[in-house]
Amino acid sequence: MQEARRPALLERLRERKLLSFALMAVTLSLGILIGTIISGGGVSAADEKAAAPDAAPLKVPDPVPVENQFTEIVRRVRPSVVNIRVESIPESREARGRQTPEGMEDFFRRFFGMPGAPEDFDMPTPPRRPGEGSGVVVDAHGYVMTNAHVVSEADRVRVRFPDDDEMFDARVIGVDEETDVAVIKVDGAGDRFIPAKLGNSDAVNVGDWAIAIGSPFGFRETVTVGIISAKSREVQGPARISRPFQKFFQTDAAINPGNSGGPLVNIRGEVVGINTAIVSRSGAYEGLGFSLPSNVAVEVYNQIIKHGRVARGSIGITFSNNQDQATLRVYGAEKGVFVTDVKAGGPADEAGMQPEDVIVEIDGVQITDGDQLIELVASLPVGEKVPVKVMRGGKAETLQVEIADRAQLFAEELGFESPEDAEAEEAATVLFGISVQELSSSRREQLGYDGEGGVLVTAVEPTSFSDDIGMLPNDVIVAINRRPVATMNDVREVQNGLKPGDDVAFKVMRRGPDEWQALYLAGVLPESGPRRF
């Protein structure tokens, strides 16, 4: 009997186990489902709780340019403003042959990002010092106006245009130290030249808008705005060196080192000045910037492109610009210029002028002050004789005075290179950028060179064509373009038949560790023109 019930009991136990497992599975599933719902509900609740529930999301509007007059001016002028990079190589005082006269460094800060001159040293290959300035294109043929102090001492000048990092070599056409204006020509830049529109600086008034464009501290194409703060400002150095042709516009448009040579523009987008200097106790912008009026710059530019320099008349006198009217009356004149000194051997001295004379008339023009005298005499042709009326001891005398070249007459006092020195230096100019010396028998013996012919390279101008192709001092040039050379004239005859863009190949002998070896150095003559010989 019991054996008969046993299978039924086992079956019921099995059913109970299955039911328990089913209940457990259902319970577990419900727990997971409830947990998921609770978790999801918690995330939604957190998302809905904003950090700033009362703040509306911001939206960026469609780009709509804000047009104004300054925007249009900059758009027109900016393509004409270039960045000028220069390299200078320090030389020893012996190599320079002359020093800047004491006190000639302008006391105001020239905005030129170049460190001060190092102490004298002699190195086989001196380090190159970089500098930076600005310039403005004034002619579509590649002519750029800038400051003399930017480029006059540079061994290499290169130019970059707006939105273009390519650099183009430039050569200096001429400089005028009196006004600090220079003209350079950029070669190989194609159609990048967009001349700026020039204005008449005589129309500028105090209070007019002034816009300066340039590369302060190397930040290219920087635009600053201010007003014309004053006109006809004179700025003198600590040695009281007179620069009578520097009568500046003063502006509070921000100007800093690197702006030098860039344009000062009026509200019509016309260039009315060339930014030249600042007065600052810190070396940076303090609200006092100075710009040479464009009319003066244009006059200088026209003489430079015609003659390579500016010739100004002078009669060789010194006078005080702040003369007292009582002094004039005591010496017999109501108006005029009181002569304090006469340069020995100058035109006025030779004509018989004396200190304490009062100049009252020149070439029939009544003289009222020193500025008028300077402007009149500077415009007269050098070499022309003009009548000069003076009051001496209350009596009038007329002297015949021959006009001299101011730069030549006062070269030492003003720290200028005399025209004769400049012409002599220019006469020693060749295309290659080397100095050569004929080989005497004693020099050959000293060098240990027994080859035939040849000229000795005594110096290679940094950044010149010869420097670029690897020429070195003490190389012996034996042939140029397969033509043997043995004298200076041989070198000159070869170079006179060459022009920029021609191929030039040198055969040189260079001393090695054990013997002289033949080398072949070649390149294409650059478009940048002649280099120093």
Per-residue pLDDT tens digits for 494-526: 887 888 888 999 999 998 888 899 999 998 887
**Reduced 3-state DSSP string for 336-393:** CEEEEEECCCCHHHHHCCCCCCEEEEECCEECCCHHHHHHHHHHCCCCCEEEEEEEEC
Tens-digit pLDDT profile for residues 326-362: 888 888 888 899 999 999 999 999 999 999 999 999 9
Residue-range definition of the domain harbouring residue 407? 313-418
The residues annotated as belonging to the active site are: 149, 180, 260
The answer to whether residue 74 is domain-embedded is yes
Q: How far apart are CA 19 and CA 31, in angstroms?
A: 18
Q: Is residue 222 located within the same domain as residue 351?
A: no
Q: Which of 363, 397, 418 is the last residue of a domain?
A: 418
pLDDT tens digit string along 85-96? 998 776 533 344
Instruction: Check if the beta carbon of residue 314 is closer than 8 Å to that of residue 410.
Output: yes
Confidence of residue 8 (pLDDT cuts 50, 70, 90): low
Specify the CATH number for the domain of residue 356: 2.30.42.10
Let me know if residue 160 belongs to a domain: yes
**Residue type, position 194, single letter:** I
> Residue 96 falls within a domain, yes or no?
yes
Is the same domain home to 267 and 215?
Answer: yes
The pairing of strands 317-319 and 337-342 is antiparallel
**Counts of helices then strands in the chain (DSSP H, E):** 14, 28
Domains in the chain, number? 3
**Backbone phi, then psi, for 48, in 5-degree steps?**
-75, -15
Summarize the confidence of residues 220-240 as an average pLDDT. Answer: 80
Contacts of 72 by beta carbon, 8 Å cutoff, 6+ apart: 269
Say yes or no: 398 and 432 in one domain: no
| Stretch (H or E) spanning 2 | helix 2-48
Cα–Cα distance measured from residue 354 to residue 72, given in angstroms and rounded to the nearest whole number: 58
CA–CA gap between residue 238 and residue 98 (Å, rounded): 21
Among 307, 330, 349, the domain-final residue is 307
Question: Are residues 273 and 391 located together in one domain of the fold?
Answer: no
Last residue of some domain: 418, 447, 466? 418
**Each residue of 30-58: pLDDT tens digit?**
655 555 555 555 545 455 688 898 999 99
Residue 3 has pLDDT above 70, yes or no: no
Q: How far apart are CA 487 and CA 494, in angstroms?
A: 11
